[in-house]
Structure 1
């Protein structure tokens, strides 16, 4: 169950990062509220996952899902540039996440 909580927490991290972008510096109340609720839920699920997963593993996976997820949202939703180096960097993060999962 801890891994499910952790993956959902990571997805919520992507959601709050995206909604924070859409909030335009917290000047749009709806997106600001989504950001805050998603942040709280993400932290709560991360905390639950840490009851049985090691800190280093849980935090690394959580931030990795958030980083790669936000990168993908930037590419596919916001139209940010996709250079070979940026894609390679995201691939290295994903490979690190896989290695972290295999090691735990």
Structure 2
């Protein structure tokens, strides 16, 4: 269950980090509410997952899911560019996430 909570926390990180773009410095109400609410839930789930998972592994996987997810969200919803180099480095992040999961104690 901790792994599920960690993955959901990472996906919520994608939501709140993407929503930050639309807050205009927290001057727009609903994007700001979305960013704060999902950030809070993401942190709560991360903290809960860390009760039974190693802190380093948990944090790295949470950040990795968020980083890859935000880049992909930017490409899909905000027309940010994608290149072979960006894909390569995203693949390295995903490889690191998988590797950490495989060697997790």
Normalised by the length of structure 1, the TM-score is 0.98
CA distance in structure 1 between the partners assigned to 2:30 and 2:11 by the alignment: 19
Match of 1:76 in 2: 76
Normalised by the length of structure 2, the TM-score is 0.97
Matches within 5 A, 1:45-64: 45-64=45-64
Match of 2:31 in 1: 31
CA distance in structure 2 between the partners assigned to 1:3 and 1:82 by the alignment: 30
Structure 2 residue runs of 5 or longer lacking an equivalent are none
SS at match of 1:24: coil
Please list every run of at least 4 consecutive aligned residues from structure 1 whose deviation after the TM superposition is greater than 3 angstroms. none
- Verify: 1:65 aligned to 2:65, yes or no: yes
Structure 1 residue runs of 5 or longer lacking an equivalent are none
Per the TM alignment, residue 23 of structure 1 is displaced from its structure 2 partner at its CA by 1.1
Root-mean-square deviation over aligned CA pairs: 0.6
CA distance in structure 1 between the partners assigned to 2:24 and 2:60 by the alignment: 28
Q: Deviations over 1:24-75 (max 9, x none)?
A: 2111110001100111100000000000000011000000000000000011
